Amino acid sequence: MTEKMPMRVNALLLFMLTTVAVPMAGAAEWRAVAARGVERVDIDAARIMRTAEGVTVAWSRLALGRELSDDGGSYTAIHAMNRYDCAGGRFATLKRIYFNGDKPVREESIRQPREIRAAGGVEARLLAEACKPPEISQARQVAQAGQAAAPAASAQAGKPGVMYADVRTAEEAAKVKTVPVADGAKPEPAAEPERPKTAADTRIEIRPPSERPRFIGLPKVEHPPVDSPPPAAEAKAPPKPAAKASPEPAAAAVSSASPASRHERERMMATSGPRRATVAKTPPPEPPTPVIQHRDIAWSYEGDGAPTNWGKLRPEHALCATGRRQSPIDIRESIKVDLEPIRFDYKASRFRIVDTGRTIEVEVGEGSTMNVMGRNHELLRFHFHRPSEERINGKAFDMVIHLEHRDDEGRLATVAVLLEKGAENPLIQTLWNHMPLEVNQEVLPDVAIDLNRLLPQDRAYYTYMGSMTTPPCTEDMLWIVFKQPMPVSEEQVRIFARLYRNNARPIQPSNNRLVKENR
């Protein structure tokens, strides 16, 4: 029987990234990042390259430890080329390659890659490895990049394609005296200029490849081929005194040419290689302007504290305005797949009910859990919104229950149970019977509720990654929305509406997020 891909494989694939086609040939140096059971996530230390300021490309591998099959064939590992935004802590997937042993089975290209925040776990570890300052792998990075950018003559022995400046004090440079020469010519010692020496004087020397300083990234200017013969006028001219250089390392060599050409090359060097630490004093950034008009306003669902202003009320609420994966969303254009069943282990529990001033919230006892995507989540509490915050193909429901869960690593997962008018809901009636009389008043009834009665009989669901629907709007939250609504009587809706006519956050942009549903 064909074995279906487990959901944890699908989840891990979300952080496998790619940008441009890079050949798979060459000896890989797989370095383990995480492991669970027979599955392992590796990163290839031999193929980590920085393509732009703060952007790194690297290959990752999900080794399954067993053979899985789907419509595309059987495979044991999945490779992907990853693009990491090191400063922003995000990544985006463009291509995956499925392998059976060492043999590639198929490739998947993603036409519209989505950037995902590396919030923690394996994703954050991969980003940290990819963005770590290169050490041994730098030489390989320079060699790979140089093959594409250096002139053809650089492939000949002893002819470096990119020259590096060696900045030394005058006293240190006195021990080694070299100048660039044309092919086949014998180097002649350069005469030191007759002038007083100071500690600030420097000499720029062309060093052999083995002694070059390491750097990240390729120069952005083309240097003249090193085997070009020097002009006749310059060949006969006596060597010029070396110009004073900054004590920081430069990124390309400068020969003892005329002052004009030397100055021009120095100017060109300023745009290549690693940035100097202190080129000019940069004024400190101006502090953000405080939003005075909202500083004493609490968030709410109307007035000055309404959802449109949440991001302005407090600095810690900024994600409500700037986040790219906010909830709720209108669930449309989901993909139909075979989602794994959610294993609920809900128990009868006593409860604490409170009117928070924004909703009715119910805290439950320990021990009720759900297991999905290889993670065990404990139910903490649940609360109500009217109307439903979620929409299905544009349709809103009368109310919704949000069941809040948290796993052992602190990751949040919310299950949404839609409510529509129909028969009376016995569990909700028990809660309404013990509803507090005052805001922030807690009631601990001497009764228990069966939490399984919160769930519909049909457990088919939608799932996507989103955020809290209230400030601070924290993202990287797993959302599960049951397709089948539960009944609630018109009277029960009216009771809640007497307290909260509308406590639903407006629909947020989906930003091309992937939404899956049971087929």
What pLDDT does 285 receive? Answer: 66
Looking up residue 126, the CATH number of its domain turns out to be 2.40.128
What pLDDT does 201 receive? Answer: 47
What pLDDT does 179 receive? Answer: 43
Give the H/E segment covering residue 391.
strand 391-392
What pLDDT does 281 receive? Answer: 52
Whether 96 and 164 share a structural domain: no
Give the H/E segment covering residue 312.
helix 310-313
Q: Which residues of 345-356 are buried (b: 16+ CB within 10 A; e: fewer)?
A: ebeebebebbbe
The answer to whether residue 312 sits within a structural domain is yes
Whether 124 and 169 share a structural domain: no
Domain range holding 297?
A: 290-316
The answer to whether residue 299 sits within a structural domain is yes
What does the DSSP 8-state code read for residue 293? G
Cβ neighbours of residue 227 closer than 8 Å, sequence gap 6 or more? 153, 156, 159, 182, 183
What pLDDT does 328 receive? Answer: 98
Give the H/E segment covering residue 42.
strand 39-52
Looking up residue 352, the CATH number of its domain turns out to be 3.10.200.10
Whether 310 and 335 share a structural domain: no
Whether 74 and 18 share a structural domain: yes
Report the distance separating Cα 317 and Cα 299, nearest Å: 10
Whether 76 and 196 share a structural domain: no
Tokens of 130: 């990819």
Q: Nearest-CA neighbor of 211 among 171, 247, 164, 249?
A: 164
Report the distance separating Cα 91 and Cα 148, nearest Å: 26
What pLDDT does 271 receive? Answer: 38
What pLDDT does 209 receive? Answer: 46
> What's the Rg (C-alpha) of the chain?
32
The answer to whether residue 273 sits within a structural domain is no
Report the distance separating Cα 108 and Cα 67, nearest Å: 19
What pLDDT does 264 receive? Answer: 55
The answer to whether residue 139 sits within a structural domain is no
Is pTM beyond 0.75? Reply is no
What backbone phi and psi angles, to 5 degrees, belong to 341?
Answer: -65, 145
Whether 334 and 419 share a structural domain: yes
List the beta bridge partners of residue 40: 35, 63
What pLDDT does 133 receive? Answer: 75
Could you read off the pLDDT tens digit of each residue along the chain, which spans 519 residues? 444 444 444 444 444 433 333 444 457 889 898 886 667 899 998 889 877 777 888 999 988 888 887 767 888 989 988 888 887 777 878 788 999 988 898 888 776 576 776 656 777 788 888 888 765 444 445 445 554 444 444 444 444 443 333 434 445 444 444 444 444 444 455 455 555 544 444 444 444 544 544 434 334 444 444 444 444 444 444 555 444 444 444 334 434 445 455 555 544 444 334 444 444 456 666 665 544 445 578 999 999 999 999 999 999 999 999 999 999 999 998 999 999 999 999 999 999 999 999 999 999 999 999 999 999 999 999 999 999 999 999 999 999 999 999 999 899 999 999 999 999 999 999 999 999 999 999 999 999 999 999 999 999 999 999 999 999 999 999 999 999 999 999 999 999 999 999 999 999 999 999 999 999
Whether 296 and 346 share a structural domain: no
One-character DSSP codes across 178-192: -----TTPPP-PPPP
Q: At what angle do helices 426-433 and 490-499 cross, to 10 degrees?
A: 40
Tell me the three state secondary structure of residue 315: helix
112 burial via Cβ count (<10 Å: 0-12, 13-18, 19+) = exposed
The answer to whether residue 252 sits within a structural domain is yes
Strand 375-385 to strand 369-372: parallel, antiparallel, or no bridges (unpaired)?
A: antiparallel
Instruction: Give me the helices (H) in 96-245, please.
Output: 121-131, 137-149, 170-173, 232-236
What backbone phi and psi angles, to 5 degrees, belong to 137?
Answer: -70, -5
Whether 334 and 427 share a structural domain: yes
The answer to whether residue 278 sits within a structural domain is no
Q: Using an 8 Å Cβ cutoff, are 63 and 71 in contact?
A: no
One-character DSSP codes across 256-281: S--HHHHHHHHHHHTTSSSPPS-SSP
The answer to whether residue 281 sits within a structural domain is no
Whether 192 and 246 share a structural domain: yes
Query: Which residue, 132, 148, 178, sits at the end of a domain?
Result: 132
Report the distance separating Cα 99 and Cα 291, nearest Å: 54
Whether 424 and 482 share a structural domain: yes
Report the distance separating Cα 159 and Cα 157, nearest Å: 6
Tell me the three state secondary structure of residue 496: helix
Give the H/E segment covering residue 319.
helix 319-322
Query: Which residue, 316, 331, 363, sits at the end of a domain?
Result: 316
Cβ neighbours of residue 153 closer than 8 Å, sequence gap 6 or more? 159, 161, 225, 226, 227
Report the distance separating Cα 369 and Cα 349, nearest Å: 12
> How many domains, in total, are found in the chain?
4
What pLDDT does 2 receive? Answer: 40
The answer to whether residue 271 sits within a structural domain is no
Report the distance separating Cα 497 and Cα 503, nearest Å: 9
Whether 237 and 362 share a structural domain: no
Whether 67 and 165 share a structural domain: no
- In the numeric block, the tokens 């202190």 are attached to 278
